[in-house]
A and B are shown apart, each in its own frame.
Chain A
Amino acid sequence: MAAIDGGAAFLRTLAAAERRLAGVQALSARRRRVRRPRIASASLAVLIPAVLALAAATGDGPGGVLVVAGLTVAALSLAACVALLLRIERPLNRRLAEEQHTMVEEVNRMRELFTHVAERDRWEERLKRSVRERLSRFPVDRGSFR
């Protein structure tokens, strides 16, 4: 972790944190995109057998071909759901958590040092305001990216 020992280092760290924030937001959006098909496939894997069972229980039930086709789709959906979860979503979650942790830690350091650095380097009011606004774009914790 680089030292923030002056105004220049502070602004460099802030710029790096902003890049990390953009990365975190992109990862978060990607995770949302992956979640949709994963949830859809999980729903299919549950719904198809349920509908087939219900139809069998209430009447003559669907034909054998339809049952086989239905169960095949359900099995494929389940496989897709598991694959999406294990191969994409979980690694994405891990990476997101790591990135968020690093970002929040860096930003907390800057929040602590801001007043000291601004006073020591005699920052103009405009610069202080701009840095305050930039720091305000970060979450306190990881809550904003759920």
Chain B
Amino acid sequence: MPDVWENTRSRWESVRHAVDGGGQGAGPGVATLNGRLGLSVNPIAVTGEAGAGKTVLYDALIQSIRTGDSDSSRSPDIEKHATVLRSGNRRTRAAVTVIPGQLSTQRQQALQDTMRGEASPHGIVHVVCWGHNRIWQRASQRDVQEALAADGTVDREAVRNWHRRKEAADFRLLVEAIIDGQLAKRLRRLIVAVSKSDLYWDRLDEARDHYIPGRARRESPFAALVRDLESETSLRLSVLPMASRLIRHQFLPGLPVRTSQLDDAQIGALRTHFGQELQSFITQRNGD
């Protein structure tokens, strides 16, 4: 069904045009999430590799972070939030769970609580970052450096590839479990949030073709998985660029630092479009 991917691309491009066209600031019609206690409805899970920016993305959507905030850190535990999604006068409740990216007891627990058996989110936001994952520990950075050096060159592209392979392996687990019916049986929507896009805005076409099937001469393993998901399930899929805040990124110590290629207003536009996408899913479910 080629239209699916053309539509996905066209949505991606509309976001890009909005950002390149000067950025759409946060106005009254903008969708945002706000922390509130209350009845849990519209369960949403945020998944993705460690260091992809899941927590920062959630924080950006509830507007609890601003440019210039202190650096992020590794999330030590499952994060569960009862939130209200707002757009103009409309409010919708959502229960958002951020699933830890690392293979761990906390991740198992979060999957058990939110995705296995009768528990299922209605939507998943899967966060990827085109290989710009953060490695927190020095020892792990050294390991990656040594492994890449043994295979050839240690440069930004090699580190990107390293993370993209991990990203695809992680996504494969999720996709296979969804297709096999082991996880998230009531899932209806999956949004792939291509985060930290401000770091590679000049190469956004490559990132798009990496995540959305259909155009690249050699389809990436990730795009192939997205295609599998579309053909084997009735999920509604979206793939959108996103940036939660202005950041700088160093792939490994000794490699050049990359800085954001967008300004605050443009990041605001990205957040806005992403929030609207999320809200369209939630309100659609409620029949608004």
A interface residues (Cβ-Cβ under 8 A, vs B): 1, 3-5, 105, 108-109, 111-116, 119, 132, 135-144
Apart from A136-B103, A137-B105, what are 4 other A-B pairs with CB-CB below 8 Å? A112-B144, A113-B147, A136-B104, A143-B77
> When the two chains form their complex, are residues A112 and B135 in contact, meaning their CB atoms are under 8 A apart?
yes
A-B contact count (CB 8 A): 74
| Contact partners of B146 in chain A: CB under 8 A | 3, 5
In the complex, 26 of the A-B residue pairs with CB atoms within 8 angstroms, ordered by the A residue number, are A1-B139, A3-B143, A5-B146, A105-B137, A108-B139, A109-B137, A109-B143, A111-B50, A111-B102, A112-B140, A112-B144, A113-B140, A113-B144, A114-B103, A115-B165, A132-B173, A135-B103, A136-B103, A136-B108, A138-B103, A139-B104, A140-B75, A140-B77, A140-B100, A140-B105, A141-B74
Which of A5, A108, A115, A138 is close to B140, meaning CB atoms less than 8 Å apart?
A108
Q: Does B116 interact with chain A (Cβ within 8 Å)?
A: no
Complex formed: what's the CA distance from A34 to B107 in Å? 30
Q: Taking the complex as formed, is B156 at the interface, i.e. its CB lies under 8 A from any CB of chain A?
A: no
Report A-chain residues with C-beta under 8 Å of the C-beta of B104.
Answer: 135-136, 138-140
Interface residues contributed by chain B, number (CB under 8 Å): 28
Q: Which of B77, B100, B103, B139 has the most CB of A within 10 A?
A: B103
Residue B258 is within 8 A (CB to CB) of chain A in the complex: no
The answer on a CB contact under 8 Å between A140 and B74 is yes
Does B169 lie at the interface of the complex (its beta carbon under 8 Å from any beta carbon of A)? yes
**C-alpha gap A121/B125 in the complex (Å):** 32
Q: Are A105 and B102 in contact (CB under 8 A)?
A: no
CB contacts under 8 Å to A, within B144-192, are: 144, 146-147, 150, 162, 165-166, 169, 173
Q: Shortest distance in angstroms between A50's beta carbon and chain B's nearest beta carbon?
A: 38
Known contacts A108-B137, A112-B140, A140 near B102 by CB under 8 Å: yes
Q: Is B106 an interface residue (CB 8 A)?
A: yes
Residues of chain B lying within 8 A (CB to CB) of residue A105: 137, 139
Which residues from 15 to 46 on chain B have a C-beta closer than 8 Å to any C-beta of chain A?
none
Which residue of B104, B105, B140, B166 has the most chain A CB atoms within 10 A of its CB atom?
B104
* B76 in contact (CB, < 8 A): yes
With both chains docked as a complex, state the minimum distance between the C-beta of A97 and any C-beta of chain B, in angstroms. 15
Q: Output the least CB separation between A106 and chain B (Å).
A: 8
A105 to B74, CA, bound (A): 13
- B147 adjacent to A116 (CB under 8 Å): yes
| Min distance, Cβ A93 to any Cβ of chain B, angstroms | 18
Interface residues of B in 61-86 (CB under 8 A from A): 74-77
Asked if residues B75 and A119 are in contact (CB atoms below 8 Å), the reply is: no
Closest-CB distance, B169 to chain A (whole angstroms): 5
Closest Cβ of chain B to A2, distance in Å, is: 11
Distance (Å) between the CB of A33 and the closest chain B CB?
22
CB distance from A43 to the nearest CB of B (A): 31
Whole-angstrom distance between the alpha carbons of A33 and B169 in the complex?
A: 42
The CA-CA distance from A68 to B183 in the complex, in Å, is: 66
When chains A and B are docked, how far (Å) is the Cα of A136 from the Cα of B74? 17
The smallest beta-carbon distance between B66 and chain A, in angstroms, is: 26
Q: Which B residue's beta carbon lies closest to that of A138? A: B104
Interface string of B102-124 (1 = CB under 8 A from A): 11111110000000000000000
Contact of B105 with A144 in the complex, beta carbons under 8 Å: yes
**A141 contacts B105, C-beta separation under 8 Å:** no
Chain A nearest CB, measured from B98 CB (Å): 12
Asked if B102 contacts A143 (CB within 8 A), the reply is no
Task: Please pick, from A4, A108, A132, A143, the residue contacting B76 in the complex, using a CB distance under 8 A.
Answer: A143
Establish whether residues A109 and B139, one from each chain, have CB atoms under 8 Å apart when the complex forms: yes
Who on chain B is nearest to A3 by CB?
Answer: B146
Name which residue of chain A comes closest to B147, CB basis: A116
- Contact of A132 (CB < 8 Å), options: B103, B105, B137, B144: B103
Min C-beta distance of B221 to chain A, whole Å: 11
From residue A35, how far is it (CB to closest CB) to chain B in Å? 22
Which residue of chain B is the closest to A140 with respect to CB atoms? B104
Taking the closest CB of chain A, its distance from the CB of B160, in whole angstroms, is 14
Rounded to whole Å, the gap between the CB of B173 and the closest CB of chain A is 8
